[in-house]
Structure 1
Amino acid sequence: MTTSPVAGLLLAAGGGLRLGGRPKALLTYRGRLFVDLAAEALRAAGCAPVHVVLGAAAPEVRTRAALTGCAVVENPDWPTGMGSSLRAGLASLPAAAGAALVALVDQPRIGAAAMRRVAGAYRSPAGLAAAAYGGRRGHPVLIGAQHFAGVCAGARGDVGARGYLRGREVALVECGDVAAPDDVDEPGDLVDLPT
């Protein structure tokens, strides 16, 4: 398997409670599953390997999604929140990974162009970077391997790396010209996606 200093990590375990229990990985945008769009974008951005963390409806996602070439990580603790998925995903990465580019499955308008820009900010395992939209920090987030333990220690409930990153130097990479950070959390968010 091809590797790069930057591994891709897609968090796709959510059950979509505010979407009536529709797992976000199985939502579609322009005829494609959210999970397929995001995993493909990470691969196209040059991330290798790409690990995908599943939880809600994992057997159905495995059956329906085109995750060939991705390592699938099942998180049995997904109901406890995104923090457990981030911990499981980071723990699954190979020791040789210099950093993880962390993407969220519920942002279908963040594609390979933005992911490539943020991955390109990698300089060393000590680095931290994130996409910015109009100067405001968002996803994906590049986490250098030297930060994995600290991020995992603080990732609890629905808190991922946010607490750990607060107060640390994070390089912002403007992506507002190539992507939109819309989260799909409620039924209206799906309706509002441009066709």
Structure 2
Amino acid sequence: MATGADAFEAIVLAAGSGSRFGGGKLLARWGDGVLLDGALAAAFAAPVSRVSLVTGAQAKAVEAAARAFAVRSGQAGRLHVVHAEDHAEGMGASLRRAALDLQADCAGAFVFLGDMPRISPAVLAPLAEAVRAGAPAAAPVFEGRRGHPALIGAGLLPQLESLRGDAGARAILKELGPRLALVEAPDDGVLFDVDTPGDLDAGRYR
């Protein structure tokens, strides 16, 4: 865990309605808990001072699940919850809301997706090291495919405040071209997300 000035923070996007899943996706059973637990576990494992959960649809239930997991994990003091009133607009709204709440001296923000429960903690420190070494942002790759979480360096954080639509930070990263640091991930957890109930079973046994 990183603390003090120039520490990184983590953002966990958990505002979506999960319409393709049939609703309630982040609260679906996963392991000994719910799907959201996997993303939170990765976020808490990152070298960050604080984890900001962005709620939207099912805000009260999602927040309750997150707080319960944080307590079980001994991480209650690191969890910060914000609500994106305009979450229906898409991922851009959630990132805007989270960016407005980052500490002024934040060195950068990891962006985790709430429906990605298999991020390997092994990839997190190398992402931080790449940004500390001067990269404006960093992202993991597995077998040539870029995945999550992205780490957005301090110089790019103001751009999060003007995002629109459902593309998230994709456009920001694309504009970097070769300046985006790519870190090889140990497995395909950086690519695996849950869209449908069938994805839950596919991901449990990998």
Q: Same fold (TM over 0.5)?
A: yes
Q: Would you say 1:147 and 2:156 are equivalent positions?
A: yes
Quote how far apart the aligned CAs of 1:125 are: 7.7
Partners of 2:129 and 2:40 lie apart in 1 by: 17
Residue identity opposite 2:144 in structure 1:
G
The equivalent of 2:203 in structure 1 is 193
Cross-structure match for 2:73? none
Q: Distance in 2 between matches of 1:33 and 1:120?
A: 31
Q: How does 1:14-25 map to 2 (within 5 A)?
A: 14-22=16-24, 24-25=25-26
Rounded to whole Å, the distance in 1 between the matches of 2:124 and 2:28 is: 21
Write the distance in 1 (CA, Å) between the matches of 2:133 and 2:99: 17
What's the CA shift for 1:124? 6.3
Residues 111 and 148 of structure 2 are in contact (CA less than 8 Å); yes or no, is this contact kept in structure 1?
Answer: yes
Q: Give SS of 1:51's match.
A: strand
Give the TM-score normalised by the residue count of structure 1: 0.89
Displacement after TM superposition at 1:140 (Å)? 0.5
What residue is the counterpart of 2:170 in the other structure? Answer: 162
The answer to whether the aligner puts 1:72 opposite 2:72 as a matched pair is no
1:118-168 Cα distance to aligned partner (Å, 9 max, x none): 233221686211011112211100101211122332x22211111122131
Superposed displacement of residue 99, structure 1: 0.3
Is the Cα–Cα contact under 8 Å of residues 13 and 55 in structure 1 kept in the other structure?
A: yes
Tell me the equivalent position of 2:52. 51
Report the TM-score when normalising by structure 2.
0.84
Q: Quote the Cα distance in structure 2 between the aligned partners of 1:193 and 1:98.
A: 33
Q: Residue 164 and residue 180 in structure 1: after superposition, are their counterparts in 2 closer, same or farther (change >3 A)? A: closer
Equivalent residue runs for 1:37-186 within 5 Å: 37-65=38-66, 66-67=69-70, 68-69=76-77, 70-123=79-132, 127-153=136-162, 155-168=163-176, 169-177=179-187, 179-186=189-196
Counterpart residue type for residue 33 of structure 1? V
Report % sequence identity: 40
Structure 2 runs not aligned, ≥5 long: 71-75
The whole-number CA distance in structure 2 between the counterparts of 1:73 and 1:124 is 30
Q: Secondary structure at the match of 2:11?
A: strand
Q: Which amino acid aligns with 1:114?
A: V
Query: Structure 1 170/126 Cα, relative in aligned 2: closer, same or farther at 3 Å?
Result: closer
Question: Which residue identity is paired with 2:32?
Answer: G
Unaligned runs of 5+ in 1: none
Cα distance in 2 for partners of 1:72, 1:142 equals 19
8 Å CA contact 1:126–1:145 kept in 2: the answer is no
Aligned length: 193
Go from structure 1 to structure 2 and tell me whether the alpha carbon gap of 1:127 and 1:104 turns closer, same or farther (over 3 Å shift). same
Higher helix share: 2
- Which amino acid letter does the alignment assign opposite residue 46 of structure 2? A
